[in-house]
Amino acid sequence: MTTKGDQILDRSLSKVGGKGLFVKELEVALEEGRAHIAVHSLKDVPMELPEGFVLACVMEREDPRDAFVSPRYATLDELPQGAVVGTSSLRRQVLLQALRPDLRIEPLRGNLDTRLRKLDEGQYDAIVLAAAGLKRLGLASRIRATFDPATMLPAAGQGALGIEVRGERQDLVDALAPLAHQDTWLTVAAERAVSRAMGGSCSMPLAAHGTLHGGVLQIDAAWGDPDGQAPLVRAQAGGPVATHAQAEALGNAVAERLHAGGARGVSPANLPQD
């Protein structure tokens, strides 16, 4: 299916309805019985699913990092002062501005082929994309460098696929269960909890990324002001996690710390309780 999110390319996602544009029409197809399952890039899925829909599973994560793509320059540091970098993401915009305030960050929309074509035509000196998308489409050779998540934090759910079904289709939930990867699911549950608690959407420049090792989950998050009027706010938390409720509680704790640091989002008083 080609959704409105794929068709409207002359405006930023934050101005035409957010990443939910990629999801809503697939949900309509599920509701009408034209499709039985919908496969989403989880970072595009709104934090709250409509009533009657569930995530049947979250699959094992691909590379969650952002990728630096350029025909002329090997890394972000090699870009000359004032170079033009393309991205459709407010998150990437504020993180790039924090790393290189001298760069010109310009909007970049379209599917992957369109974005790469615009780069090759010389409209940009470099573009920043999700490494997972390039790898899944056999375009890993276009990656010149991958960003360290410590400095370029990924979006909540980046690199993970989620499969959505109608809530009453327990038969499909059971059939899809072998595809579920529990460590990934716990990790992205915490990441999405950060975003949910902050009122996260495509119009919020928010990053949240987790790593789970030995049952201990570490969550790092960042919030930035796209107008450059406030400094980048970062927060982190870690702890043992075995259930989705514990993962979400950890994400909520990170959101509280972001808010306390000056990030503009939902008040901690309105956060879900453990």
Looking at residue 7, its pLDDT comes to 47
Kindly state the DSSP code that residue 122 receives in the 8-state scheme: T
**Domain check: are 164 and 255 in the same one?**
yes
Looking at residue 188, its pLDDT comes to 97
Contacts of 39 (CB under 8 A, 6+ apart): 161, 162, 163, 164
Q: Which of residues 90, 124, 146 is at a domain's end?
A: 146
**Domain check: are 122 and 244 in the same one?**
no
Looking at residue 204, its pLDDT comes to 77
**Domain check: are 125 and 217 in the same one?**
no
Tokens 């289709």, residue located: 169
**Domain check: are 237 and 191 in the same one?**
yes
For residue 132, give its domain range.
66-146
**Domain check: are 171 and 234 in the same one?**
yes
Q: Strand 126-130 vs strand 84-86: parallel, antiparallel, or unpaired? A: parallel
**Domain check: are 244 and 116 in the same one?**
no
Q: Which of residues 146, 178, 202 is at a domain's end?
A: 146
**Domain check: are 169 and 264 in the same one?**
yes
Are 91 and 209 spatial neighbours (Cβ–Cβ below 8 Å)? no
Which comes out higher in pLDDT, residue 122 or 225?
122
**Domain check: are 168 and 56 in the same one?**
yes
Looking at residue 230, its pLDDT comes to 78
Q: What CATH number is attached to the domain comprising 171?
A: 3.30.160.40
Residue 14 has pLDDT above 60, yes or no: no
Which comes out higher in pLDDT, residue 227 or 8?
227
Contacts of 43 (CB under 8 A, 6+ apart): 19, 130, 154, 155, 156, 157, 158, 159, 160
Tell whether 22 is covered by a domain. Answer: yes
Strand order in 233-240's β-sheet? Answer: 206-213, 216-223, 233-240
Least confident of 48-57, 140-149, 158-167: 48-57
Q: Which of residues 120, 146, 172 is at a domain's end?
A: 146
Domain total of the chain: 2
Looking at residue 21, its pLDDT comes to 58
Looking at residue 3, its pLDDT comes to 56
Mean pLDDT value across residues 34-43: 93
Q: Give me the active site residues, please.
A: 44
- Residue 269 tokens read as 């008083």
Alpha-carbon distance 28 to 31, whole Å?
5
Kindly state the DSSP code that residue 112 receives in the 8-state scheme: H
Residue 203: pLDDT band (50, 70, 90) is low
With CA atoms as reference, report the closest residue to 162 among 174, 180, 175, 178: 180
Which comes out higher in pLDDT, residue 183 or 272?
183
Tell whether 151 is covered by a domain. Answer: no
**Domain check: are 135 and 165 in the same one?**
no
Enter the pTM of the model.
0.86
Contacts of 146 (CB under 8 A, 6+ apart): 63, 65, 66, 67, 68, 131
Q: Which tens digit of pLDDT belongs to each residue from 217-273? A: 999 999 988 777 778 999 999 999 999 999 999 999 999 999 999 987 644 333 333
With CA atoms as reference, report the closest residue to 259 among 242, 226, 235: 235
Mean pLDDT value across residues 33-38: 94
Alpha-carbon distance 106 to 154, whole Å?
19
Looking at residue 264, its pLDDT comes to 79
Q: What CATH number is attached to the domain comprising 109?
A: 3.40.190.10
Alpha-carbon distance 6 to 230, whole Å?
32
